[in-house]
């Protein structure tokens, strides 16, 4: 069914490339994995034309979801979820260049687009633009990008005003459970961005981050997995969460110092 959908989308003049992404692209999928499909376009395909392609293969769908990117979310007839993400190819490659060429960090997932390009399995590529970009950006991880990501996120975590550590402490004192959850998520976003930068590895996205780090990252803070689990299990137990964050930041700073000298 997915291949049939690829073939239909490839007929549109707006479509320049199609790639399979996510866990299936890197063969880390399991029984719960959906299909993440990236359709690279020059301009958006009208919704009714997309619906005409998807309806024969799907029992239900939500078109034009903008929660993360512009996507259609469908449940295929075999019960598998299909997420089709539409990206302007030129804008996407500009996002890759911001990291790989201009060394610009983001508040979260700084190298996510670059990683998506490198790991995506190309299914269609009119003119070879996506494959050419993939070849261009298969390159050593820039030292300046590593330094910029670490500096930016350590500023967010500890040295900026207000820092995530300060925000977490205040949220704990207020016993504001929603805000505690938000602070922990922002902290972990920065924490993982630093870990992947230390290992000169593009950010793989939002799922299985602990597993990816344990399996593929040689440089990890002491008690990496244990401390993350302690944080998540103690978020609403004042003052344990703040204590775990302090410990995680201390170990992170230590491994940064050992790595960068």
152-207: per-residue pLDDT in tens?
Answer: 999 999 999 999 999 999 999 888 999 999 999 999 999 999 999 999 999 998 78
51 lies in which domain range?
2-136
Burial class of residue 220 in the structure, from the number of CB atoms within 10 Å of its CB (0-12 exposed, 13-18 middle, 19+ buried): middle
If you average pLDDT over every residue of the chain, what do you get? Answer: 92
Question: In this structure, are 9 and 132 located in the same domain?
Answer: yes
CA distance 158 to 175: 21
20 phi, psi to nearest 5 deg: -90, 130
Question: In this structure, are 116 and 101 located in the same domain?
Answer: yes
What tokens appear for 114 in the block?
A: 């670059």
Q: In the chain, how many domains are there?
A: 2
Question: In this structure, are 128 and 163 located in the same domain?
Answer: no
Question: In this structure, are 154 and 107 located in the same domain?
Answer: no
Q: Is the pLDDT of residue 151 over 60?
A: yes
49 phi, psi to nearest 5 deg: -70, -35
Question: pLDDT tier at 250 (50, 70, 90 boundaries)?
Answer: very high
Question: In this structure, are 19 and 104 located in the same domain?
Answer: yes
| CB atoms near residue 115 (< 10 Å) | 21
Question: In this structure, are 81 and 180 located in the same domain?
Answer: no
Bridge partners, residue 62, by sequence: 73
Question: In this structure, are 71 and 190 located in the same domain?
Answer: no
Say if residues 252 and 194 touch (Cβ distance below 8 Å). Answer: yes
Given this model, what pLDDT does residue 67 score? Answer: 85
Question: In this structure, are 165 and 198 located in the same domain?
Answer: yes
Q: Is the pLDDT of residue 140 over 90?
A: yes
Question: In this structure, are 116 and 218 located in the same domain?
Answer: no
Q: Is the pLDDT of residue 42 over 90?
A: yes
Question: In this structure, are 172 and 54 located in the same domain?
Answer: no
Closest CA to 169 of 224, 251, 249, 246: 246
What value does the mean pLDDT take over residues 56-81? Answer: 92
* H helical segments located in the chain: 2-9, 22-25, 47-54, 89-100, 112-119, 129-136, 143-154, 164-174, 177-198, 209-216, 224-233, 240-260
Q: Is the pLDDT of residue 208 over 70?
A: yes
Residue 112: CATH number of its domain: 3.30.460.10
Say if residues 3 and 188 touch (Cβ distance below 8 Å). Answer: no
Among 136, 168, 199, which residue terminates a domain?
136
CA distance 167 to 178: 12
Question: In this structure, are 92 and 17 located in the same domain?
Answer: yes
Bridge partners, residue 73, by sequence: 62, 83
Question: In this structure, are 96 and 156 located in the same domain?
Answer: no
Any idea which residue has 């190309």 for tokens?
A: 122
């Amino acid at each position: 069914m997915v291949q049939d959908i690829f073939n239909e989308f490839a007929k549109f003049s707006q479509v320049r490339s199609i790639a399979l992404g996510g866990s299936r692209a890197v063969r880390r999928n399991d029984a719960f994995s959906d299909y993440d499909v990236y359709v690279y376009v020059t301009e958006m395909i009208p919704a009714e034309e997309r619906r005409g392609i998807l309806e024969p293969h799907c029992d239900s769908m939500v078109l034009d979801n903008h929660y993360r990117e512009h996507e259609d979310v469908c449940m295929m007839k075999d019960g598998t979820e299909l997420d089709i993400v539409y990206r302007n190819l030129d804008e996407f490659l500009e996002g890759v260049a911001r990291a790989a060429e201009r060394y610009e960090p983001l508040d979260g997932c700084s190298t996510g687009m670059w990683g998506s390009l490198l790991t995506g399995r190309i299914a269609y590529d009119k003119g070879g633009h996506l494959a050419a970009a993939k070849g261009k950006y298969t390159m050593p991880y820039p030292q300046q990008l590593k330094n910029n990501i670490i500096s930016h996120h350590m500023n967010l975590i500890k040295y900026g005003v207000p820092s995530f550590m300060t925000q977490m402490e205040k949220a704990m004192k207020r016993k504001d459970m929603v805000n505690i959850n938000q602070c922990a998520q922002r902290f972990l976003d920065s924490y993982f961005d630093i870990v992947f930068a230390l290992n000169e590895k593009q950010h793989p996205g939002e799922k299985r981050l602990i597993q990816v780090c344990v399996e593929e990252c040689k440089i990890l803070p002491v008690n990496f997995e244990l401390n993350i689990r302690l944080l998540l299990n103690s978020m609403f137990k004042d003052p344990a969460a703040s204590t775990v964050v302090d410990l995680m930041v201390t170990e992170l700073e230590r491994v940064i110092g050992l790595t960068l000298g």
